[in-house]
Amino acid sequence: MSPSARTTAVVTGGAQGIGRAVADRLAADGADVIVGDLRDPGDLGVRQRWVELDVTSELSAGALAAVVGESVDVLVNNAGIMFEASIAEQTVEQWDMAMAVNLRGPWLMTKALLPQLQADGGGAVVNIGSIEGIGSNPLHTAYSASKAGVHGLTAAMAVDLGPLGIRCNAVAPGWIDTALNRDYLDRLPNRDQAIAELAVLHPVGHIGDPADVASTVAFLASRDARFVSGQVVVVDGARTTKLSLPPSLSPDA
């Protein structure tokens, strides 16, 4: 995006974490940003405003679409949830909620905003997937399945919506230093060890920052990416590229 262009962007789940970083980056780049979230962020900038949104609800998605104006240039489908449970312990309600938020949400928001995204020659959709749509951590069956679905949805949307002038891509973040992840680490008895071991997993030597994801989203949303569509861009410091070795074969052993 160009700061001189008047751009409208919608960011779901933009009240905190990666979504907030994306909303702040797009606003800094000159966009008018609608933050769709169940909670009121309370401290948005002058180019940002909050609209209450439940991404699982067709009525809520339609209500947001009714107030954003005639044209939307960028839709960032970021809202998501995650929980840990074995298959034996998971409930149908938990599974359905993960699918409703993480997978139905991006589809429903794109559908609701389709007329606005087609206006003015087309727009860009960026879905937030995950490296767990490529691999998986233990106890994350619902989360991994939903994020793999987001990646597949992104490809299908790129094919179907490309002729309408709408580009669709996804970003697959790795371990990002969000408040949620920090709180999780702070509860561990071996917090410092866990932080050090997390850094070692990444060839770049550190975990990611929400701004790292936001800058990738900003590129995919921009005219600089006019020929990029149907892609899943992994932002994980090469974590998923690095092949694992047993400790006895490690160069540091």
pLDDT reported for residue 212: 98
Whether 242 maps to a domain, the answer reads no
Residue whose token pair is 């309370």: 42
Q: What are phi and psi of 22, to 5 degrees?
A: -65, -45
Count other C-beta atoms under 10 Å from residue 62's C-beta: 13
181-205 pLDDT per residue, tens: 888 888 989 988 988 889 888 999 9
Domain that holds residue 29: 7-177+209-236
Provide the CATH number for the domain around residue 20.
3.40.50.720
Whether 252 maps to a domain, the answer reads no
57-105 pLDDT per residue, tens: 999 999 999 999 999 999 999 999 999 999 999 999 999 999 999 999 9
pLDDT reported for residue 209: 96
Catalytic residue positions, numbered: 143, 147
Residues in the chain: 253
Residues 125/116, Cβ–Cβ less than 8 Å:
no
Whether 245 maps to a domain, the answer reads no
Mean pLDDT score of the chain? 94
pLDDT reported for residue 60: 98
How far, in Å, are 10, 131, 175, 213 from residue 136 at the CA level?
A: 29, 8, 13, 20
Whether 93 maps to a domain, the answer reads yes
Q: How far apart are CA 221 and CA 94, in angstroms?
A: 32
Q: Is the pLDDT of residue 180 over 90?
A: no
SS3 state of residue 190: coil
Q: How far apart are CA 125 and CA 144, in angstroms?
A: 21
Percent of the chain with pLDDT over 70: 97
Whether 220 maps to a domain, the answer reads yes
Where are the alpha helices (H) located in 6-87, listed in sequence order? 17-28, 58-67
Whether 157 maps to a domain, the answer reads yes
For the chain, the domain total comes to 1
Of residues 247 and 124, more confidence is placed in 124
Whether 194 maps to a domain, the answer reads no
Whether 196 maps to a domain, the answer reads no
Where are the alpha helices (H) located in the chain, listed in sequence order? 17-28, 58-67, 92-99, 105-112, 114-118, 141-161, 179-186, 191-201, 210-221
